[in-house]
Amino acid sequence: MAAKELYDYLSSTTADNDATLSVKPNTVIVEEGSKTQSIHMGDDGSEERISHSDKSIFYCILIWTYRNESDAGTIMDFYHDAAKGNGNAESFKWTHPTDGHSYVVRFDGPLKRHLFSTGTVLFGFPSVRLRVLGYVAVESPSQSPSESPSESPSLSPSASESPSESPSVSPSA
């Protein structure tokens, strides 16, 4: 596990349904993070930076290659079933394969499936992007029973952050 994980920057939330996508990716997982911010450039080369929110936005990009019919069917079903992902509309649960936390996610784009015929029919999903909405409200191993997620020390800003790093509008030359 990394010193800081997606979990440390998210709050607990509830999925639209109780379904859990359990097929683990067998290739690299990409974690992508951003903030809702704007940078306005002036004619004189100056910049105005605006943070629209303190919250982080996370995506996980999963790659499944050479999967059997059962795994491929599970992934297709999660995307197309109205009671699960319903395309990009509904959120569901997913467990991160390396940090072990359960997150509430939704699909964030179309689902593309490849078919490989190498004597045995295998399937692949080259790039499935999930929008991470929050974590499933369950006690984590690093959390004591008396701590609620909002009181967890790992959810507070780092002691190394200075007040100047807080969101604000700040012109610079």
pLDDT at position 15 is 95
User: Does residue 147 fall inside a structural domain?
Assistant: no
Contacts of 107 (CB under 8 A, 6+ apart): 78, 79, 85, 87, 88, 128, 129, 130, 131
Predicted confidence (pLDDT) per residue in 5-64, tens digit: 899 999 999 999 999 999 999 866 899 888 888 899 999 999 998 888 888 899 999 999
- pLDDT bucket at 163, cuts 50 / 70 / 90: very low
Portion of the chain with pLDDT greater than 70, in percent? 77
User: Does residue 152 fall inside a structural domain?
Assistant: no
User: Does residue 172 fall inside a structural domain?
Assistant: no
User: Does residue 145 fall inside a structural domain?
Assistant: no
- pLDDT bucket at 141, cuts 50 / 70 / 90: low
- What are the tokens at 1? 């596990």
User: Does residue 144 fall inside a structural domain?
Assistant: no
User: Does residue 91 fall inside a structural domain?
Assistant: yes
Predicted confidence (pLDDT) per residue in 80-109, tens digit: 999 999 999 999 999 999 888 999 999 999
In 3D space, the residue among 9, 13, 2 whose CA is nearest the CA of residue 106 turns out to be 13
Q: Is the pTM of this model over 0.85?
A: no
Q: Using the predicted structure, report yes or no on whether residue 77 has a pLDDT greater than 60.
A: yes
User: Does residue 52 fall inside a structural domain?
Assistant: yes
- pLDDT bucket at 119, cuts 50 / 70 / 90: confident
Overall domain count for the chain: 1
User: Does residue 149 fall inside a structural domain?
Assistant: no
Q: Which domain holds residue 112?
A: 6-138
| Residue pair 24/121 in contact by the 8 Å Cβ criterion | no
Predicted confidence (pLDDT) per residue in 147-160, tens digit: 444 444 333 333 33
